[in-house]
Amino acid sequence: MRMIAVDILSELGTPSYAAEDADEALFMLAAHPGISVMFTDIQMPGGMDGIELARRVHALRPDIGIIVTSGKQRSPYSAMPERGIFLPKPYRAQQLLDLVGRELSFIG
């Protein structure tokens, strides 16, 4: 699923990176300061879920748009960071593209 999302996002013509887990995502954010939107699943390998990753990213870089998805959990808005967006699975490719495009225009 991760690589499908990267393929979908490549349609926007912006660099996209895939991380295996939250620790790798945090490393990538530090290594690529131009990242402006993060898309994560709530369930992911490792000791940190996508909600905790979203909170940490928002604390470190409040300028980054955050989109969180899940096929099992619904409406985690109370746990999301400010301006965090929840995209329930299954989603259409166009929905993801629209949300990321909206975040990019909001930030840019």
72-99 residue pLDDT tens: 877 666 788 988 999 999 999 999 999 9
How many domains are contained in the chain? 1
Q: Residue 1 — very low, low, confident or very high, per pLDDT cuts 50/70/90?
A: low
Domain containing residue 50: CATH number = 3.40.50.2300
Q: Which domain holds residue 58?
A: 2-107
Please name which of 93, 97, 100, 49 lies closest in space to residue 70, comparing C-alpha atoms: 49
pTM of the model: 0.89
